[in-house]
A and B are shown apart, each in its own frame.
Chain A
Amino acid sequence: MANVLIWSSLRSHTGGQANLQIEAGNVREMLDKLGDSYPGLKPQLQRGVSVSIDGIIFRDGWLEPLKPESEVVLLPRMVGG
């Protein structure tokens, strides 16, 4: 079970909830379940997201494990120049 923080402007798709409880062992499972449970999030997920796990930002990292006590934060997909 991962506790995932969603950024403010996405919360209209999650019934206003900022913190979502998602049953998932890794990032890929978590993103799939997020999209299935909250279809309004799918366009952003398709555009791309990064995931911060305990303060480390993973730009991809689908196989990164998620622990119940992990701080998981959804972020727009990292860019650079």
Chain B
Amino acid sequence: MPLDNPQSAARKFNLVGTRPVRPDGVDKVTGRARFGADAVAPGMLVGRILRSPHAHAKIKSIDTSKAEKLSGVKAIVTRDDFPDKTDGDALLYDVLYNVMAREKALYEGHAVAAVAATSASVARQALKLIKVDYEVLPHVTDVDEAMKPGAPVLHPKMFTDGVEPKPKKASNIVRRYEFGHGDVAAGFKHADVIVERSFKTEATHQGYIEPHACLASFGPDGQAELWVCTQGHFMVRDTCARLLGMDVSKLRVTASEIGGGFGGKTTVFIEPVALVLSKKANRPVKVVMTREEVFKSTGPTSSASMDVKIGATRDGRIVSADMELRYQGGAFQGSPVEFGAMAAFAPYDLENVRTIGYDVVCNRPKQAAYRAPGAPMANFAVESVIEEIAHKLNIPSIDMRIINAAKEGTKSSYGPIYGPIGLRATLERAKEHPHFKAPLGKNQGRGMACGFWFNFGGQSCVTMNVGIDGTVSLTVGSPDIGGSRASMCLMTAEELGIPYDKVRAVIADTGTLGYSDVTDGSRTTFATGMACIQAARDAIKKLCARAAQIWGISEEAVTWENGYAKPAGPNAGDFAPLSLKEIAAQAAQTGGPIAGHYELNADGAGVSFATHICDAEVDPETGFTKITRYTVLQDAGKAVHPSYVEGQFQGGAVQGIGWALNEEYIYGKDGRLQNAGFLDYRIPVCSDLPMIDTVILEIPNPGHPYGVRGVGETSIVPPLATVANAVSHAVGVRMTELPISPPKLLKALETLPQQKKAAE
């Protein structure tokens, strides 16, 4: 759907671009908001899941007989209660296997059985009485180790795809991807400087403060209801219905308020188990994960091992760029390595570029999305090397990016030729930003990076209903994870010409509105917003038709302006304008309820770029890094509610800072996660960080009526490199492994004199 008025001066908005108080704020701070664990039902049972203590083991048998006899136990389920109805869909089979282990437990924390009981203590006791006969197998948790010949193999039928000749031996390498164009070897011959480095990043968790929780109620008539915290309740409905072999229309899913998702709640973990338990027990079953379960048994990111080689001429022009990425996605295929491979060099105009990606499995939980899946790690490696080259050539960091920046007409590293893009604009704005000129103190360093993400549109459905008093109920199908209700109300009120507080948005359940894709991919303000705008325009047509009937003139003779139906011109007749309220008051007598509706699969989302700048101060005695200043510059196309846009920029930056400095999954030699809690898996909190400054650029997206561009994901892409570059400048040593935790940094500082000596 194209931008309104692309030729004329930018549209003047009355409401879009303002900052009304968020509609969910009061409920959230007073405890009225109902999250995943806040639903109750009469006769409700407590569901708990038994999880494998082993990283890799054959499940020879499961004996539930003792547990079944325990008073208060109403149902026990195992793999026998999850028949394969995936009908040859390999990716859905993996979801089934992840939800409940089948032949093997593939990671510590893999679900093996589940119990529904009358209380939590009975449920816990019952789990202890379930006897699982495991044959423990050797395990592997490191991506490079998992790729070696001789590594323990998880799936006997996994033969690497994308390599010739096709391997005869099973391995842990799912697939090889390759993207790029030109001739990298020939390109390197023209380079005056070449930097080649290897990088590693560890798995991180999205860190949402609300654990997964759901309440399932499966009736004996085959109809079921599910209350769940999720980013996509239609996705939950469809996935569970397929796994259970039931009609989609028989399962009604309601999305609760959500305490963070960031991509980690775009799939199912406990929901099919709760439904199957409820069906077997014939009572509602509530399953709430503990924090330990969230770390061990949901979807962290991939860990990555990468090799980058970049060559440039003396004037800073990159002549060749080559990269190999190895990502482990946990125990099943589907790490986002191809997206890392596509995004890695996407900001740059390159004649010769090649990225090779390997998707690898190992004995870890199945990965899930975390904002821009696959891109942050790749960006860390590439932007670190570009920084090193800039330093070697004595070219300012920002200029190095500007010299090589992709623009309209550039052939992207992943294939298509770019249309108009906003990369150069964010770089030029960053160059002028006072952050670059601020003085630096002792042990302080400054770093920057630019990053790229795809964004997409997707399916959305919206209905808006006009109440008898002219206020509007806006029904959307997108769970609100980042403030979308406010933005939807702003856009709807803008179209209708009524005050913002006369529109209230609710999120429909799957039985009460048409399909909406998961809230992810930075799509909601873009796609669901587009549907809101069109639904409002649909309603306006009907309101004008209603006014025309009331006045006895033709529909074409009526126009809508600032909340009023008006005669289109003096020839139409002399009628006083009718407000939305006045038309609504007569609705019953003039034809019935008035509503607007729209559904679409939105395209034209447009790619997204961001530039980040960071100052870091390192304590050379402790290796502790403090971020002293951080600036995000990103194009939002049109910031519908600027506070929320800033919040997205800041949130992405903070998660990236945590990924760079503190957060990592630490595995023991036994393949068990050592730090499955927020005490030892340390995410940044407000007191750790300065204010994250933001600059919102507004270069309208030609694919949206208001010019909106998705913003939620891109700002997690540059921070890893931005922080690593800042630290590297602060201490004079290039950190190539994340996180840059104090022990790691101290070790690097200690070996620095030897490194310098070796270089001499």
Interface check B211, CB cutoff 8 A: no
CA distance A81 to B91 in the complex (A): 18
Interface size on B, residues (CB 8 A): 49
| A12-B164, A47-B91 known; A79 vs B604 contact (CB < 8 Å) | no
Per the 8 Å Cβ criterion, residues 239-282 of B in contact with A are 262-264, 266
CA distance A50 to B607 in the complex (A): 14
| A7-B178, A56-B603, A81-B262 known; A75 vs B342 contact (CB < 8 Å) | yes
CA distance A5 to B703 in the complex (A): 24
Closest Cβ of chain B to A2, distance in Å, is 14
Instruction: Name the contact of B339 in the complex, choosing from A12, A64, A79 (C-beta under 8 A).
Output: A79
CA distance A59 to B518 in the complex (A): 14
A81 cross-chain contacts in B, Cβ below 8 A: 206, 262-264, 266, 368-373, 520-521, 713
Interface check B581, CB cutoff 8 A: no
B522 cross-chain contacts in A, Cβ below 8 A: 80
A15 cross-chain contacts in B, Cβ below 8 A: none
Asked if residues A80 and B415 are in contact (CB atoms below 8 Å), the reply is: no
Per the 8 Å Cβ criterion, residues 37-73 of A in contact with B are 43, 47, 50, 52, 54-61, 64, 71, 73
A80 cross-chain contacts in B, Cβ below 8 A: 263, 369, 372-373, 454-456, 520-523, 713
Taking chain A's interface residues, is the majority helix, strand, or loop, or is none over half, making it mixed? mixed
Closest Cβ of chain B to A1, distance in Å, is 19
Interface size on A, residues (CB 8 A): 28
Interface check B596, CB cutoff 8 A: no
CA distance A74 to B206 in the complex (A): 30
Asked if residues B456 and A7 are in contact (CB atoms below 8 Å), the reply is: no
Per the 8 Å Cβ criterion, residues 446-461 of B in contact with A are 454-458
| A59-B457, A61-B601 known; A9 vs B419 contact (CB < 8 Å) | no
B176 cross-chain contacts in A, Cβ below 8 A: 9
Interface check B162, CB cutoff 8 A: yes
Interface check B161, CB cutoff 8 A: yes
Complex interface bits, A1-32 against B, C-beta within 8 A gives 1, otherwise 0: 00001011110100000000000000000000
Asked if residues B336 and A79 are in contact (CB atoms below 8 Å), the reply is: yes
Closest Cβ of chain B to A53, distance in Å, is 9
Interface check B605, CB cutoff 8 A: yes
Asked if residues A78 and B601 are in contact (CB atoms below 8 Å), the reply is: no
A54 cross-chain contacts in B, Cβ below 8 A: 419
Nearest A residue to B605 via CB reads: A57
Asked if residues B415 and A43 are in contact (CB atoms below 8 Å), the reply is: no
B10 cross-chain contacts in A, Cβ below 8 A: none
Interface check B33, CB cutoff 8 A: no
Asked if residues B373 and A55 are in contact (CB atoms below 8 Å), the reply is: no
CA distance A12 to B163 in the complex (A): 9
Closest Cβ of chain A to B132, distance in Å, is 33
CA distance A64 to B415 in the complex (A): 19
Closest Cβ of chain B to A47, distance in Å, is 7
Interface check B416, CB cutoff 8 A: yes
B418 cross-chain contacts in A, Cβ below 8 A: 55
CA distance A58 to B523 in the complex (A): 13
Interface check B417, CB cutoff 8 A: yes
CA distance A9 to B180 in the complex (A): 10
Per the 8 Å Cβ criterion, residues 520-554 of B in contact with A are 520-523
Asked if residues A56 and B419 are in contact (CB atoms below 8 Å), the reply is: yes
Closest Cβ of chain A to B636, distance in Å, is 17
CA distance A79 to B235 in the complex (A): 14
CA distance A7 to B415 in the complex (A): 7
Asked if residues B601 and A56 are in contact (CB atoms below 8 Å), the reply is: no
Nearest A residue to B522 via CB reads: A80
A55 cross-chain contacts in B, Cβ below 8 A: 416-419
Nearest A residue to B606 via CB reads: A56
Per the 8 Å Cβ criterion, residues 170-199 of B in contact with A are 176-180
Asked if residues A79 and B373 are in contact (CB atoms below 8 Å), the reply is: yes
Closest Cβ of chain B to A15, distance in Å, is 12
Interface check B383, CB cutoff 8 A: no
A61 cross-chain contacts in B, Cβ below 8 A: 601, 603
Closest Cβ of chain A to B268, distance in Å, is 16
Closest Cβ of chain A to B201, distance in Å, is 16
Nearest B residue to A43 via CB reads: B161
Interface check B338, CB cutoff 8 A: yes
> Which 9 A/B pairs are nearest by Cβ-Cβ distance?
A81-B263, A80-B521, A81-B369, A8-B178, A9-B178, A55-B419, A52-B416, A73-B415, A80-B520
14 pairs, CB–CB < 8 Å, chain A vs chain B: A5-B415, A7-B414, A9-B356, A12-B162, A43-B161, A55-B416, A55-B417, A57-B454, A78-B521, A79-B369, A80-B455, A80-B456, A81-B371, A81-B520
